[in-house]
């Protein structure tokens, strides 16, 4: 992957190498030369403070900031462009700021992050701060007191996301609760894929997934299977599918931007047909028809910003089950 821009995490590079990377970009644009980077020193973490709710698999939200109190002190850097009274819009990236914490080594940086999170106060909108607190108190991540640092790139999704709201006690690492979960005899992991505009569930043996992702389970650890973050967003929509199937009102499962309308008013659809494509945090999310019916009205268009629960499409489901042959005979 080549990105001709600064990544969001450029602050970590700046903290450990002592260079202002934005200044370096300007220097290059003016025909200058890059500054030789010194040897990295210390350890730095960046925490994205977004308007995302960890109780719903980090789905983006919106709202008005009623109170903000950023942490301060040695090793604390805040990059933010919001203030109290500002409104987080559903039409743009929900990141409100970045909390960058740096110390002489990883252990000191972890301790400093805990202190910073204890000082952070943001009210009026959801943030992942409570999730960060759990992660920075999870021995799998902190590797304290001789505990092995043993996580993979899928650790966050499998350990903390795609769970029912309130299933974990406050402040309790998900890995501790997961230990009591029942492990299936034949472990598998399911993914939602799209074929010909229809959603299909693909189930793969867990050992294959582990081999591809470098999971700790490949080394014998016992953890419950969890779907990936993208799957979790589909699960948010799936919870409302039963109600939508009864009413014919198809609502947005999250705050997002509409990127594609896949149907037209008056069009007949089958259960599982793709209706609307949404984009949230650079991820496409698909809204499928929970039942067969006829599209009666489309309430949104491409590029429209929608809130969670906002109506996208309505369906007439009353005559959906009437066979075409029967209609022909009636004529």
Q: Work out whether the CA dihedral 50, 1, 21, 151 comes out positive or negative.
A: positive
Tens-binned pLDDT, residue by residue, of the chain (331 aa): 676 788 889 999 999 999 999 999 999 999 999 999 999 999 999 999 999 988 888 888 889 999 999 999 999 999 999 999 999 987 778 899 999 999 999 999 999 999 999 999 999 999 999 999 999 999 999 988 888 887 888 888 888 886 554 444 334 444 333 333 444 445 777 666 777 766 677 777 766 665 554 444 333 444 333 334 444 444 444 455 555 557 889 999 888 889 999 999 999 999 999 999 998 777 788 999 999 999 999 999 999 988 888 999 999 988 654 444 344 444 4
Is residue 174 in some structural domain?
Answer: no
**Which candidate, 307, 301, 244, 296, places its Cα nearest to that of 276?**
301
Tokens of 108: 């000191």
**Which candidate, 271, 264, 306, places its Cα nearest to that of 289?**
271
Question: What is the span of the domain harbouring residue 107?
Answer: 10-136
Structural domain ending residue among the three candidates 230, 259, 293: 230
219 and 251 within one domain: no
282 and 214 within one domain: no
Asked whether the beta carbons of 174 and 163 are under 8 A apart, the reply is yes
Q: Which one-letter DSSP state was computed for residue 273?
A: B
Is residue 176 in some structural domain?
Answer: no
The DSSP secondary structure of 155-185, one letter per residue, reads HHHHHTSS--TT-S-TT--HHHHHTTSPPPS
Burial class of residue 241 in the structure, from the number of CB atoms within 10 Å of its CB (0-12 exposed, 13-18 middle, 19+ buried): middle
Helix residue ranges, H only, 30-182: 106-119, 129-135, 139-142, 155-159, 174-178
63 and 23 within one domain: yes
């Amino acid at each position: 992957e080549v990105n001709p821009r600064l990544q969001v995490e450029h602050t970590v590079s700046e903290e450990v190498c002592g260079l202002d990377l934005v200044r370096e970009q300007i220097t290059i644009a003016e025909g200058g030369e890059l500054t030789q980077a010194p040897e990295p020193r210390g350890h730095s973490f960046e925490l994205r403070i977004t308007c995302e709710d960890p109780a719903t698999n980090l789905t983006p939200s919106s709202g008005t900031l009623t109170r903000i109190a950023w942490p301060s002190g040695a090793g604390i850097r805040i990059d933010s462009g919001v203030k109290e009274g500002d409104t987080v819009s559903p039409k743009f990236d929900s990141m409100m700021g970045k909390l960058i914490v740096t110390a002489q080594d990883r252990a000191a940086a972890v301790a400093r992050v805990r202190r910073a999170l204890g000082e952070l106060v943001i009210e009026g909108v959801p943030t992942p701060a409570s999730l960060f607190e759990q992660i920075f108190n999870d021995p799998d991540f902190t590797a304290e007191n001789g505990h092995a640092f043993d996580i993979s790139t899928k650790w966050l999704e499998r350990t903390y996301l795609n769970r029912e709201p309130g299933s974990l006690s406050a402040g309790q690492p998900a890995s501790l609760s997961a230990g009591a979960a029942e492990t299936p005899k034949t472990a598998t992991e399911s993914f939602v894929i799209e074929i010909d505009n229809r959603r299909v569930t693909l189930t793969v043996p867990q050992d294959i997934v582990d081999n591809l992702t470098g999971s700790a389970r490949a080394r014998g650890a016992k953890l419950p299977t969890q779907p990936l973050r993208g799957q979790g967003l589909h699960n948010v929509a799936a919870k409302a599918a039963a109600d939508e199937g009864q009413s014919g009102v198809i609502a947005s499962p999250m705050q997002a931007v509409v990127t594609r309308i896949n149907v037209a008013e008056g069009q007949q659809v089958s259960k599982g047909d793709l209706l609307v494509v949404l984009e949230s945090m650079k991820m496409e999310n698909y809204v499928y028809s929970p039942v067969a019916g006829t599209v009666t009205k489309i309430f949104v268009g491409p590029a429209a910003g929608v809130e969670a629960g906002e109506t996208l499409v309505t369906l007439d489901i009353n005559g959906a089950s009437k066979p075409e042959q029967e209609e022909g005979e009636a004529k």
